Each structure stands twice: as C-alpha cells, then as structure tokens.
Amino acid sequence: MIDVASHIKDKKLILALSGGIDSMVLADLLLKGKADFVLAHCNFHLRGEESDGDEQFVRDYASRNGLTIYVKQFETEVYAKEQGVSIEMAARELRYAWFEELRQQLGYDYIAVAHHADDQLETFFINLLRGAGIRGLKGMQPVNGNVIRPLLDVSREEIHQYAIEHGIKWREDHTNAETQFLRNKIRHELLPVMDSISKEGRASVLKSISHLASENELYRELVDAKLFQIVKQDGEVQKISYLSPLTSQLLFEWLRDYGFNSDQVNFIYEAMNGQPGTSFFSPTHKVTIERDGVELAPICQHDKTQVELVYEQHPNDDNFVIDKSPEVAQLDYDKLTFPLKLRIWQAGDRFYPLGMKGSRLLSDFMKDLKLTTRQKEECQVLTTAKDEIVWVVCRRVDERFKVSDKTKTILKIQRV
C-alpha cells in the first residue's frame, strides 16, 4: 500500500489531475485517505480530440466521486510563440501560474502533483545533459513552497501495480512513447541501459540526488551569507564593489534569480575589466559595468523615479532664507517662461551651471560629477517653455535663473 498520509494531514489540497495513471492513483489515495481536496485540470489543446477526451474523463471522475473540479483552457502554442519558449516550458508556466492563482482564491494549503521517483531520475539526467550545477541536479523536493509531491519516493512500477490491483482507470498519452522528446529518450533508452549495467542503478542515482539536495542547502547558506556581506542595496538598486572578492560563480549566484543565464554572466565577468558603461539585459533587469563595481537595477528604474515638484512663490526680502539643500531649487520668477516642464535629459542638452562661466554640455557636467550610468539615465531637467534648462534636478541650478539682489519674486521648487 502506498502511504501519502504524512503529506496530507489536516491540509487542504488542490490535486493537479491530468487523467494519466500517476495523478489518477494519487486521486484514489487521497480519496481513501479522506483528504480535503479539489481537482484542477488543464486542457492545453495540444492533442486535439485526445485533449478534450482527457478533460471529459476527469470531469466524469469528479462527478462519480462527488468531487469539485476546476478546468482551465489554454492556448499553449500561442503562448509559447509569444514568450519564445518551448511547448513543454509554456505548459509548465501556464499550469503552475493557474494552480497558484486558484490556491490563493480558495485559500488552500498546497497544490499536489503526482511526480514520482522515475520522474526524479529523468529530470536529473535532463539537467545533467544541459550542464546544470548543483541547484539543477538536486532534484525535485517532496515539499517546495506551496507544491507537494506525495509520490516522489514511489516508482512508476509501484504506481502501475497499484492501479492494476485497485482497478483504477486512466488515460494514455500517446506522446509519452515518442522518443523525439528528451525526457522520453531518457525514459525509454537511457534508463533501460542503466538497468542493464546495474540492478541498483536507479536507487544509487536517487541516493546521489538526495546527497546533492543536502549539499545544496549548505552551499546556499554559504552563498547567501557571502552575498549579504558584499551586495550593497540602495532602494531597488544593488551593487557589488570591485573591492569585494567576486568570482564568476558568485556573480552567477547573485544574478541568476534576476533572469541572467550562465553565458550572460560569463560575458559580464569578462566585461568587468573593460569599458565602464557596458550594460547587459535580462527580461526584467539590467547589469551595468561601472568604474567601481557592478550594478544591478530593474530595467525601467528611471521611469519609476520621476520626481514630483512642489512650487512656492516668495518675495525676495530680508526674511527669506536661502535653502542650500540639493532637493530644492530657488529661481528668479520673472526670468522664467511658463509652463515649466520636467523631462529626462537628452544628448546635446546644454546649460549654464551655477557658479561657472559659460555653458556646458550636460553630458560633460555629469561626467565631471562622476555619476554612474544609472544616475545619468535617471537624470531629469526642469525647463522653461522655450526648453531652456533651469535646474538639473537635485544637481545644479542654471546661472541664468539664479536668485540675485535684483530678484523681486523667488520661485522655490522642491522635490518630494
């Protein structure tokens, strides 16, 4: 008898039910264990009438057993094309996103999936052939966040035997026999060869996966502790100084969770000895090589930091106190043409920095200040209706619009 009681006690579950033998056996075990669960089925529309047949099969099963079932239709091929991912990856992303959305809506504890020991082996070899590190080779875990795998220690053979002995019906997916898919090649070709070499081969590999999982926990603790020491946080921006010991592996561990792959990290590591200002992009983040370190920021960082300005008018008399804060600009009201406009700086922008003679290109001014690439990208200017720069926000007021002893009215502008 397969025991799943330790995984389900006092928990509310959503069972991912495909109609295949694995999930149908898990459904039977949950029923007999009197678990509190509902069913969730994904129709990916990848096998025509077979996909619709699977959906009807699980709907009928739910009806016979008095179970609540939720069904979601997906245009998987369209999604895969739009996202530039494989069909397999598209289906995985779609189903787990929907399962989690459903779990939150229902207020349930876990999503139960029917991965078993042979799935674990296949996944290990897939990742091994793709050059994965310890994180990819540690395998799936019985509990991973809100996902549980009650059958992970059970073999495909044991599941099949249980299904036969208990008269469980299931749907066969004909694509499981097609060896053009890497997983199926491993299942039908690689694993049988391993069995012929060693009867204990599968058990030995599973033991190695278990060791790797334990070692990965220690490795993660050490990496996280090191990154905590050397990564400096400034809002949404992170930075590692060149003064810190930074290996390519540590750089990879820092950047991998932000969408950067190992090839990109190798390029970034090599670029650290090159020209400052070089940038690399993931779908969500940007890495910039600066003079003194490597900086990581969300791609649209400067769009998120648009400043709000508060305007006040004051008479220029003995009671007015000049505010020297960089967050404040005080200007001669009568020299301005309205409306004033706030915008991101542009190539070719020129202004007259306060305290300096003549005009300067804003790009040269920022270079003199030794601004980072991010700071340059985020730099905003306040201009007159004639597009004259009156204030490089939080950097410098323009000499032409400064307050003097001839100023009658002062316009005070403050960043908030």
Q: Which residue has the higher pLDDT, 283 or 383?
A: 383
Task: Give the pLDDT of residue 331.
Answer: 93
* pLDDT value, residue 218: 94
pLDDT tier for residue 7 given thresholds of 50, 70 and 90: low
First to last CA, the chain: 66
Residues 262 and 411 in one domain: no
The tens digit of pLDDT for each residue in 321-362 reads 778 888 899 999 999 998 888 888 999 999 999 999 899 999
Same domain, 177 and 121: yes
Residue located via tokens 């003097």: 404
CATH number at residue 379: 3.50.40.10
On whether both 363 and 277 belong to a single domain, the answer is no
CATH number at residue 182: 3.40.50.620
Q: Evaluate whether residue 222 is within a structural domain.
A: no
Confirm whether 273 is domain-assigned. yes
Q: Residue 336's domain spans which residues?
A: 309-415
Most confident of 77-91, 168-182, 202-216: 202-216
Q: Are residues 81 and 182 in the same domain?
A: yes
Q: What does the DSSP assignment read for 102-168?
A: HHHHHT-SEEE----HHHHHHHHHHHHHTT--HHHHS---SEETTEE-TTTTS-HHHHHHHHHHTT-
Task: Check whether residue 160 and residue 269 sit in a common domain.
Answer: no
Residue with the bigger pLDDT between 118 and 182: it is 118
CA dihedral 388, 390, 392, 393 (to 10 degrees): -130
CA distances (Å), 358 to each of 52, 344, 351, 361, in order?
Answer: 75, 23, 8, 10
Helix (H) / strand (E) element for 314: namely strand 309-315
**Count of structural domains, the chain:** 3
Q: What is the mean pLDDT of the chain?
A: 90
What is the pLDDT confidence band of residue 305, given thresholds at 50, 70 and 90? very low
List Cβ neighbours of 179 (8 Å cut-off, separation of 6 or more).
185, 188, 189
Q: What's the pLDDT band for 229 if we cut at 50, 70, 90?
A: very high
Place 387 in a pLDDT band, splitting at 50, 70 and 90. Answer: very high
Residue 225, pLDDT > 60, answer yes
Kindly state whether residues 354 and 389 are assigned to the same domain: yes
Contacts of 404 (CB under 8 A, 6+ apart): 332
Quick one: pLDDT at residue 368? 93
Question: Is the domain of 403 the same as that of 373?
Answer: yes
Kind and range of the H or E element at 14?
A: strand 12-16
Let me know if residue 373 belongs to a domain: yes
**25 shares its domain with 119:** yes
- The domain boundary, picked from 280, 299, 318, lies at 299
Our CA dihedral for 111, 70, 24, 34, rounded to 10 degrees, sits at 70
Q: Residue 302's pLDDT band (boundaries 50, 70, 90)?
A: very low
pLDDT at 6: 63
Q: What is the pLDDT of residues 189-215, one digit of tens each?
A: 999 999 999 999 999 999 999 999 999
- Say yes or no: 343 and 280 in one domain: no
3-state secondary structure of 29: helix
Considering the domain architecture, whether residues 157 and 244 belong to the same structural domain is answered as: no
- Is residue 110 one of the residues assigned to a domain? yes
Q: Pick from 180, 213, 246: which residue ends a domain?
A: 213
Q: Tell whether 304 is covered by a domain.
A: no
In this prediction, residue 222 carries a pLDDT of 94
In the block, residue with structure tokens 């007021």? 397
Q: Is 225 among the domain residues?
A: no
Band of residue 179 on the pLDDT scale cut at 50, 70, 90: confident
Domain termination site, one of 249, 271, 299: 299
**What was the pLDDT predicted at 277?**
80
Q: Is the pLDDT of residue 301 over 60?
A: no
Q: Is the pLDDT confidence value at 5 over 90?
A: no
**281 shares a domain with 339:** no
Say what percent of the chain tops pLDDT 90.
64
Q: Answer yes or no: is 228 within a domain.
A: no
User: Percent of the chain scored above 70 by pLDDT?
Assistant: 96
Same domain, 185 and 47: yes
Is residue 226 one of the residues assigned to a domain?
A: no
Q: Where residue 260 falls among pLDDT bands split at 50, 70, 90?
A: confident
